[in-house]
Amino acid sequence: MKFVDEAYIDIAAGDGGNGCVSFRHEKYKEFGGPNGGDGGRGGHVFAVADPSLNTLVDYRYSRRHEAKRGEHGMGSDMFGAAGSDITLKMPVGTIITDAETGEVLYELLNPGEVLTIAKGGDGGFGNLRFKSAINRAPRQKTPGWPGERKNLKLELKVLADVGLLGMPNAGKSTFITAVSNARPKIADYPFTTLHPNLGVVRVGPEQSFVIADIPGLIEGASEGAGLGHQFLRHLQRTRLLLHIVDLAPFDDTVDPVAQAKAIVGELKKYDQSLHDKPRWLVLNKLDMVPEDERDKRVKDFVKRFKWKGPVFEISALTREGCEPLIHAIFRHVQAEQRLENVPEEIDPRFAGDAPA
């Protein structure tokens, strides 16, 4: 697959250079004194969040990344040069964890964000450092300190405002194509989507939000069945989930209610916090249902599904009902953003009562 959202790498910052033992040797300077310089520090390893990247595929085939060591100190009071740093470009949304302990070390959440993920070792001291009134000809020096070495796991969780849920062939790819600039593959067979797709939905001038489509889920996905379970992590940072249901399946024996309940069950098994996210029900493919049967079929589904949240009826193919849904999503995303920007010391319930 072209989309890679996990990789393991070994990184090593550069070791510090060793200090030098040297003495000044010049004509008519019998006791010139020590002039051994310090070693240079080793190179650091940086990680930068690059918004132009959307996959970790580069690190699947290039695992070892090592910065240069610092140069050794030299005579004539010359300090060693610092080792060259290296910068690893990663997609926005990358989580960096310790591969051995599983501890989360860093998260790249903002475009252009730079983090030091391994520090280079300090250079050793030359004998110039040990000169004193008592010890005028020191022969001590110290070696450079080793740079940090780490085994890391890189995990990408895409940053999107809205995530799409649904069985294979529910119409998620058609929907994201209809409302955004994303152009995923669309076909009349299951699992057409093999990797997450991101699309920007334009609501108006300088008004937009990001929507993410993952491969369709099937029953047993939380235990590894199908493809969708590999990408459920990409929905954990969304503000809203759209549960898209095929209201007119080709196979008459397929019950949309049973499929919808299976999706909800898989969410709960995978991550309770993901299950508890705001979720809206989107009944798709109304163009396949005769007009005189639409109301009855929708009411029957909602009743049997025991759904009490927001319900939207659309046809992603003809774009019927998509416009009201998009505006409702934008209002919800804006409201969530305003709550996130409220200072921590102010209770969000009373934020509107604060004096200007």
316 annotated as ligand-binding: yes
The answer to whether the beta carbons of residues 12 and 151 sit under 8 Å apart is no
213 annotated as ligand-binding: yes
317 annotated as ligand-binding: yes
Name all contacts of 254-260 with Cβ < 8 Å and 24+ positions apart.
Answer: 256/301, 257/301, 257/304, 257/305, 259/167, 260/301, 260/305
The candidate with the shortest Cα–Cα distance to 58, out of 117, 2, 119, is 2
194 annotated as ligand-binding: yes
285 annotated as ligand-binding: yes
Which residues are registered as beta bridge partners of 10? 64, 151
End-to-end Cα, the chain, rounded Å: 53
315 annotated as ligand-binding: yes
173 annotated as ligand-binding: yes
171 annotated as ligand-binding: yes
Residue 161 burial by Cβ neighbours in a 10 Å radius (0-12, 13-18, 19+): buried
187 annotated as ligand-binding: no
22 annotated as ligand-binding: no
The answer to whether the beta carbons of residues 278 and 241 sit under 8 Å apart is yes
214 annotated as ligand-binding: yes
287 annotated as ligand-binding: yes
191 annotated as ligand-binding: yes
Q: Could you tell me the strand order of the sheet in which 149-156 lies?
A: 64-66, 6-12, 149-156, 94-98, 104-108
286 annotated as ligand-binding: yes
Binding residues: 166-173, 191-195, 213-216, 284-287, 315-317
Binding residues for Mg(2+): 173, 193
Binding residues for GTP: 166-173, 191-195, 213-216, 284-287, 315-317
